[in-house]
Amino acid sequence: MSTFYITTAIDYANGSPHLGHAYEKVLADVIARSRRLCGTQVHFLTGLDEHGQKVQMSAQKLGIEPQQFVDGIAAEFQQMCKTLEITNDDYIRTTQPRHVKVVRELLQTLFDKGDIYRADYNGYYSTRQEQFVLEKEKVNGQWPEIYGEVTPITEPGYFFKLSQYQNWLISHIKANPDFIFPRFRQKQVLEFLKEPLNDLSISRPRERLSWGIALPFDENFVTYVWFDALTNYYSAVKDSGLWPADFHIIGKDILVPPHAIYWPIMLHAAGLPLPKALLVHGFWTMSGDKMSKSAGNTIKPLDIAQQYGVDAFRYFLIREMNVGQDSDFSLELFLARYNSELANDLGNLVSRLLNMGGRYAGGIVPAVAIEEAPEQALKSLWDIVVPELIPACEKFQFHLGLEKINTFIRGINRYAETRAPWKLAKSEDPEDRARLDTSLAFMAEGLRLAATALVHVMPSISAQILQLLGQPPVTQWAGELEWTPKRVKGGTLAEKAILFPRPQTEK
């Protein structure tokens, strides 16, 4: 069986994890889990981008070695992955020997081919962005603020011949319309490619930047960020034969030029296959502002996850964001979904079932005893919802999948209201006893299906619900998403559970 290989961007090791980092991991994890549930073998890579000027400077400020500094940051990022239930199979750090070796080999190959050459560079350099900047980027005679201090500079260095591959890249993108998802991003790339590409400066003199991978053909220089960072996707799997990747999951800020221009050209020039596709997600903003460390408005994702539960946090990220678009994050928006879709619709339903099951059926899920219009209606609702679920995953429309599941959960609540087991329990009519048993069986089966359908997004909550129903956890979707009340029949219901406690701050 072929392996579905997905990656996230590797995070910069110059600060603590923030919401953007958390989101990308959760999105990749939801993709990885949904593919595994469909029976595909998955290899999921994430990691840390540890070299560069900023890291070197941060370590210097603290008076420690860069390696010690990045070790601390790596521990923080890896802990975040663990907390967020990320099922990555590997974690690559660009200071690892396995990575350094492959970067050097790649550089040597391209140098030997003549695609990397030495030249003098005259220009301007932004320390904050660790990049050369062009005069034409000035706005009203000033450098844009994102560049920080910009200084004129002349220095020898090494360049990669991007320009000679420009036409090849344009044809590749045009011939592979699925290379960039969503489609509208492809236009942006082609637009960028209308201008002639400059060759890429790939080195920094060691005296200015020591914290990097030395060029194998000139040890006085180290590689500049992108040549080092992008290669992680390949270096991590070179020996396991998993290259090429099926999807690189990245944010929109690093599509053009790094992932859409540099990376394909680097690979092509080295005679390596290209990744099959790039999945480009949008940005989380806070009240419309781009989140950034300097703006001081970063939400500590783990604080929210800790306070309201990791699965609720994952649910919110996936429910709220239409992959590819931007989304706003606020505690109000989080709480709105938490209270209505999780605590009310799902959590209350579970509590009600456990409560009524204990009261009216001795805590054992009864068999279906009658089927009338309300039962037909609930089954039909599932029949409408279920065919949409896996296609939504395949098209990365996870938010729509969750919307459908929520519609179904609300349908189960409506069914419970219509059947009103608490009224049926008071009746002497044997048919009402059959209706009562059936209503408990239908609620239990509905919840089994909902928990099964939610498992890629809320793995712990799903397992917990199934356990409360006396069911085993889900390991695959095949055969598990069919309406089969006899599966839940005879299951021992737990006494009670509060899945989504009401937050203290709620008004």
Residues in contact with ligand MSP by CB under 6 A are 9-12, 20-21, 23-24, 49, 229-230, 232, 250-251, 253-254, 283-284, 291
User: What is the Cα–Cα distance from 463 to 456, expressed in whole angstroms?
Assistant: 11
Q: Identify residue 476 by its one-letter amino acid code.
A: Q
CB of 284 to ligand MSP, least distance (A): 4
Q: Quick one: 258 or 411, whose CB is closer to ligand MSP? A: 258
CB of 23 to ligand MSP, least distance (A): 5
Angle at 445 between CA 439 and CA 447, to 5 degrees: 100
**Shortest reach from residue 162's CB to ligand MSP, in Å:** 17
CA-CA distance, 379 to 372, in Å (whole number)? 11
Cβ 175 to ligand MSP shortest distance, Å: 24
Nearer to ligand MSP, 254 or 444 (CB): 254
Minimum CB distance to ligand MSP, residue 291 (Å): 4
Could you count the other beta carbons within 10 Å of the beta carbon of residue 134? 9
Query: Least Å distance between CB 313 and ligand MSP?
Result: 15
- Bin 246: left if φ > 0, else alpha if -120 < ψ < 50, else beta: alpha
Tell me the closest approach of the beta carbon of residue 320 to ligand MSP, in angstroms: 12
DSSP state of 257: I
Smallest distance, Å, CB 247 to ligand MSP? Answer: 13
Q: Is the dihedral of CA 74, 80, 85, 86 positive or negative?
A: negative
Of 229 and 260, which CB lies nearer to ligand MSP in the complex structure? 229
Q: Under DSSP, is residue 423 helix (H, G, I), strand (E, B) or coil?
A: helix
Dihedral, CA of residue 317, residue 319, residue 321 and residue 327, to nearest 10: -80
What is the enclosing helix (H) or strand (E) of 440? helix 430-453
Longest dimension (CA), the chain: 94
User: 220 or 325: whose CB is closer to ligand MSP?
Assistant: 325
**Residue whose CB is less far from ligand MSP, 279 or 453:** 279
Q: In the Cβ-directed half-sphere of 123, how many Cα atoms lie within 13 Å?
A: 16
Pairing outcome for strands 247-251 and 116-126:
unpaired
Tell me the three state secondary structure of residue 160: strand
Nearer to ligand MSP (CB atom), residue 254 or residue 416: 254
CB of 259 to ligand MSP, least distance (A): 7
Nearest to 226 by CA among 124, 107, 373, 123: 107
Nearer of residues 93 and 456 to ligand MSP, judged by Cβ? 93
Question: Which residues lie below 8 Å from residue 49, measured CB to CB, with a gap of 6+?
Answer: 9, 10, 11, 12, 13, 94, 225, 228, 229, 232
Cα–Cα distance, 25 to 88 (Å, whole number)? 9
d(CA 28, CA 22) in angstroms, rounded, equals 10
Q: Residue 317 CB, nearest distance to ligand MSP (Å)?
A: 10
Q: How far is CA 380 from the centre of its chain?
A: 33
**Residue 170 to residue 175: CA distance in whole angstroms:** 9
Nearer to ligand MSP, 116 or 230 (CB): 230
Contacts of residue 62, defined as CB under 8 A and 6 or more positions apart, other chains included, come to 69
Give the Cα separation of 483 and 446 in Å (integer).
8
C-alpha–C-alpha distance, residues 242 and 240, integer Å: 6
* Least distance (Å) between residue 414 CB and ligand MSP: 36
Q: Which is nearer to ligand MSP, 23 or 408 (CB)?
A: 23
For ligand MSP, the closer of residues 45 and 455 by Cβ is 45
Which residue's Cβ has the minimum distance to ligand MSP?
Answer: 251
Between 47 and 446, name the residue whose CB sits nearer to ligand MSP: 47
